[in-house]
């Protein structure tokens, strides 16, 4: 799936965990405060002298900060390895690229598996409910702590794209350009419905123990795997599944039982079981909840355009995939319409592909060409070499 190898030698890779003192809590949309806040992040490239070349890449639901370097748990290349690297559209020789694990995540940023300083035990369900706005507020704290006033670009696909929209609404003064891929300005009933199936699968697993499984020394792996399997179907298209698997069988003949007879079953089971090695079930509950609560228009008087009235100086690029039925093209068109209505200059393209929602991880030449062109032109107008 990935044509590029790991980042070549000579590119500076940084990162670690940024610990904010308890006196600097994350103020949450729910009214609660989260402290102490820790943010796990990776960086690629070097911040230039006038600090104008920082790019924030926001990850999707089950992504993490390991954008373009080997994942410590799976040993696989970074999730956007084919996009970030020398000569690629996000070139660390030109940009200082930052990717943070979202709040509520499980790869080092404070989340439900973190230790609650009050009880010295994992938060579990005592972790406060978080929102996309909270994720972005935490990122803004990190960016500020790094001494970066303006991001050259905020870029993200899927949930990452929603974070970028939130950035444009909450911190437009800190943005020069914004790229929103395969996203939506709010979760539809169908989106919420699929997430609810996943959450119920996790909570129906006896090993979930009301969220206190870490204390109990067990893990709701079955439930989390089923949640992942259901969700994974929504990331692909019918055409892609048909092309990849059709009705092909695992071995000769049917088993006349409930083994994975079909290749597509085996594939989904593999997706489920490999997911539980790297993801926390409670994080899955919290992050899907944050997505379901996302409705950018609602917090702006019901008019999406109102969210962008302060972002007229930001250059937007919105992209969708023709076969994405999770966040289909009309969702992106709504975003573009609102941007136009707000008087923002926006670009939009629908990439023709049968690969579904996950196409933004995959080899789509027109996606590359579009983003490469947009970023190059914007970096030229920003005065980056």
Query: What are the angstrom distances between the C-alpha of 46 and each of 11, 49, 123, 253?
Result: 9, 9, 35, 57
The two structure tokens encoding residue 197? 């199936």
Indicate if 357 belongs to the active site.
yes
381 contacts another protein (rule: CB under 8 A)? yes
The two structure tokens encoding residue 303? 């008019």
CA 273 to CA 230: how far, in whole Å? 13
Indicate if 52 belongs to the active site.
no
362 contacts another protein (rule: CB under 8 A)? no
Give burial (CB, 10 Å; 0-12/13-18/19+) of 381: exposed
Of the ranges 101-109, 142-150, 155-163, 376-384, which one interacts with another protein (CB under 8 A)? 376-384
Nearer to another protein, 44 or 286 (CB): 286
Binding footprint of another protein, residue count (CB under 8 A): 42
**Contact, 237 vs 359, CB < 8 A?**
no
Helix ranges (H only) for the chain are: 132-145, 159-170, 189-204, 213-216, 221-235, 238-244, 263-276, 281-293, 329-341, 365-381
343 contacts another protein (rule: CB under 8 A)? yes
46 contacts another protein (rule: CB under 8 A)? no
260 contacts another protein (rule: CB under 8 A)? no
199 contacts another protein (rule: CB under 8 A)? yes
Collapsed DSSP state (helix, strand, coil) of residue 272? helix
CB of 196 to another protein, least distance (A): 7
Indicate if 91 belongs to the active site.
no
Give burial (CB, 10 Å; 0-12/13-18/19+) of 84: buried
212 contacts another protein (rule: CB under 8 A)? no
CB of 139 to another protein, least distance (A): 25
The number of residues in the chain equals 385
Of the ranges 45-53, 150-158, 237-245, 350-358, which one interacts with another protein (CB under 8 A)? 350-358
348 contacts another protein (rule: CB under 8 A)? yes
List contacts with another protein (CB under 8 A): 196, 199-200, 203, 285, 289, 298, 301-303, 305-306, 309, 315-317, 333, 336-337, 340-343, 345-352, 366, 369-370, 372-374, 376-378, 380-381
Known catalytic residues? Answer: 158, 324, 357
């Amino acid at each position: 799936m990935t044509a590029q190898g790991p980042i070549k030698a000579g590119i500076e890779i940084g990162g670690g965990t940024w610990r904010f003192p308890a006196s600097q809590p994350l103020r949450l949309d729910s009214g609660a405060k989260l402290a102490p806040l820790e943010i796990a992040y990776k960086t690629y490239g070097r911040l230039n002298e006038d600090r104008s070349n920082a790019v924030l890449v926001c990850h999707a639901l089950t992504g993490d900060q390991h954008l373009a370097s080997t994942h410590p748990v799976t040993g696989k290349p970074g999730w956007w390895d084919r996009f970030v690297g020398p000569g690629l559209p996000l070139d660390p020789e030109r940009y200082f690229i930052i990717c943070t694990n979202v709040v509520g995540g499980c790869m080092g940023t404070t989340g439900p598996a973190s230790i609650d300083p009050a009880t010295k035990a994992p938060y579990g369900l005592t972790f406060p409910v978080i929102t996309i706005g909270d994720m972005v507020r935490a990122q803004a704290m990190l960016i500020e702590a790094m001494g970066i006033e303006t991001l050259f670009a905020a870029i993200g696909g899927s949930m990452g794209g929603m974070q970028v929209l939130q950035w444009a609404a909450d911190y437009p003064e800190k943005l020069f350009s914004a790229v929103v891929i395969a996203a939506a300005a709010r979760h539809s009933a169908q989106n919420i419905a699929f997430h609810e199936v996943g959450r119920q699968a996790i909570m129906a697993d006896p090993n979930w123990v009301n969220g206190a499984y870490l204390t109990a020394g067990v893990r709701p792996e079955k439930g989390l795997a089923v949640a992942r399997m259901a969700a994974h179907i929504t990331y692909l298209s019918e055409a892609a599944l048909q092309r990849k698997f059709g009705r092909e069988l695992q071995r000769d003949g049917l088993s006349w039982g409930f083994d994975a007879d079909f290749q597509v079953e085996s594939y989904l089971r593999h997706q489920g079981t490999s997911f539980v090695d790297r993801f926390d079930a409670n994080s899955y509950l919290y992050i899907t909840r944050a997505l379901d609560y996302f409705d950018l228009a609602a917090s702006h008087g019901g008019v999406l355009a109102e969210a962008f009235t302060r972002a007229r100086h930001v250059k937007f690029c919105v992209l969708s995939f023709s076969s994405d039925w999770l966040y289909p093209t009309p969702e992106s068109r709504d975003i573009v319409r609102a941007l136009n209505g707000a008087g923002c200059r926006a670009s939009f393209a629908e990439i023709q592909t049968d690969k579904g929602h996950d196409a933004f991880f995959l080899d789509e030449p027109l996606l590359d060409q579009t983003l490469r062109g947009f970023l190059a032109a914007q970096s030229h107008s920003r005065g980056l070499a």
